[in-house]
Structure formats: C-alpha cells, structure tokens
C-alpha cells in the first residue's frame, strides 16, 4: 500500500457515539472502549459518548462533537457511530429509531461548518446504506464528505477488528481507499465499503436516469400490447365466464 506524504496526511481525531444493545450493556461490552485503546496506541485522540435515547444521541452529535472540535483545533473529526442498524437507519439502546432522513438533518450543519470534510464511520449492520443520506436530488448540500460502512450484518468482533485496522492504517499515513480493503482482510468480512457523498449521489442519479429509460421502454411495450388486443376486447374476455368441465 502507498503511503501519503507526511504533509498530505489527514490530521484527525475520532469521536465515537455508541448506543449499545441491552445485552452489550449487561455484559459490559463496548466497542468504544476497545477502539479508544487501539486508536490511542497510534497517538490519535479519541473521545466517546454513550447515547441510549434519541435525546442523548442528538445532544452527543450537536453538543458533544462541538466540544471535542473545540478541544482539538485544526483536526478533522471522524464521527464513528456504533449501534444496531438496518437498511432504513439505526436503532438506539431504548428502541428509538433514527432514520436516514433524520440523521441527515443532524449531520448537514456539521458538514457545512467543516467545509464539507466530515467523515462518517458506521459500525452498524447495513451501515453502508447510510450513503443514501447523500441521495437527495433536490438538495445540493451534503451531510458528509465520505462514509465507511458494511452492507451486510457484521458480527460485533468483525466490526471492532475492522475499524481498529482502519484507524491504525489511516493514522500511519495509508490512503482510505487502501485502508478499507484491508478492513475486509483483517475482519474476514468482505462487505465493508467506502464512498464519497458525490459518488453516492451520482450513482443514484445514474440509476434514476436508467430507470426513466426503462420506463419509456415499458410504455412502448404496453402500447404495442394494446394494439395486439384493444382494451375493450380484453375487458369483454375477462367478463366472460370460463367454461368449467363437470
């Protein structure tokens, strides 16, 4: 893997917001504790907040992150979210749901204040679906610069090992595009991915454009089908009882 020149390396700190499951709380198992130790070995600053409710989560994002940014001037924050996740968003310890639309609104002001440089790591099941936060066609503002997450359902240990590897490599000057494939190798899980907000939105735009073309093809096919059997003839046939043998 290629190392970035020292003057080009990202100066960052990691800010973890964790909402552990009831089982994790009972067992005293937290990803934040593990990552703080691993990240600290690389002389990278790391802070964490536990948020078991929506109110606490919002405060951790709006207030806690601001506090850590003030304590680490000149550094780009990497927001690391550890929680239960699914395709539509994340679930907190108390069962409350934050969908991607709501999370997007939380992140947009932060990304704007950072000049579009907010980096988000989603240590959740289906966390990569958070890239959908960038796929809003009528809004030019992005909620993040880039996002790393898993498209499937990694185990607790797979996610912890993967992100410990990611932060270790980035802290030592490796490019993010190289660090993510290394996450897959280290964890044994091939579903960790990274994308920028621009890439995610462009991919969605391409998808929408293709679906519009497919819709036109479908309209043409339906028009041809109508010519083969006029609607009135089809309606007449549908009204005629089918013959049933005794």
- With respect to residue 3, please indicate whether it lies within any of the assigned structural domains: no
Which DSSP helix (H) or strand (E) runs through 200?
helix 197-228
List of E strands, 44-86 = 46-50, 76-86
Report how many domains make up the chain.
Answer: 2
DSSP string, 103-148: HHHHHHHHHHHTTS--EEEEESTTGGGGGGGG--TT----S-SEEE
The model's pLDDT over 132-171, given as tens digits with 9 standing for 90+, comes to 999 998 889 999 999 999 999 999 999 999 999 999 999 9
Residue 211 belongs to what domain range? 203-239
In this structure, are 52 and 121 located in the same domain? yes
The per-residue pLDDT for 210 is 72
How far is 10 from 76, CA to CA, in rounded Å? 8
Ranges in the chain, pLDDT < 50: 245-246
What mean pLDDT value characterizes the chain?
88
In this structure, are 106 and 209 located in the same domain? no
Residue 37: which CATH number? 3.40.50.1460
In this structure, are 224 and 140 located in the same domain? no
- With respect to residue 244, please indicate whether it lies within any of the assigned structural domains: no
In this structure, are 152 and 222 located in the same domain? no
In this structure, are 48 and 146 located in the same domain? yes
């Amino acid at each position: 893997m290629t190392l970035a020149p020292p003057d080009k390396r990202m100066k960052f700190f990691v800010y973890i917001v964790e909402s552990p499951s009831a089982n994790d709380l009972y067992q005293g198992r937290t990803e934040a504790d593990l990552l703080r130790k691993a990240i600290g070995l690389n002389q990278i600053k790391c802070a964490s907040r536990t948020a078991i409710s929506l109110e606490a989560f919002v405060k951790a994002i709006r207030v806690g992150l601001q506090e850590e940014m003030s304590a680490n001037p000149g550094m780009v924050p990497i927001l690391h979210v550890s929680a239960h996740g699914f395709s539509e968003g994340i679930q907190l310890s108390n069962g409350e749901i934050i969908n991607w639309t709501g999370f997007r609104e939380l992140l947009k002001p932060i990304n704007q204040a950072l000049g579009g440089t907010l980096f988000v790591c989603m240590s959740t099941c289906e966390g990569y679906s958070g890239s959908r936060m960038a796929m809003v066609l009528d809004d030019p503002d992005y909620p993040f610069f880039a996002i790393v997450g898993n498209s499937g359902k990694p185990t607790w240990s797979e996610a912890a090992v993967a992100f410990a590897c990611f932060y270790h490599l980035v802290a030592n000057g490796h490019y993010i595009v190289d660090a993510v494939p290394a996450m897959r190798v280290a964890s044994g899980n091939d579903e960790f991915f990274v994308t920028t907000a621009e890439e995610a939105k462009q991919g969605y735009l391409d998808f929408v454009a293709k679906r519009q073309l497919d819709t036109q093809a479908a309209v043409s096919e339906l028009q041809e089908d109508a010519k083969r059997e006029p609607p009135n003839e089809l309606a007449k046939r549908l009204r005629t009882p089918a013959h049933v043998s005794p």
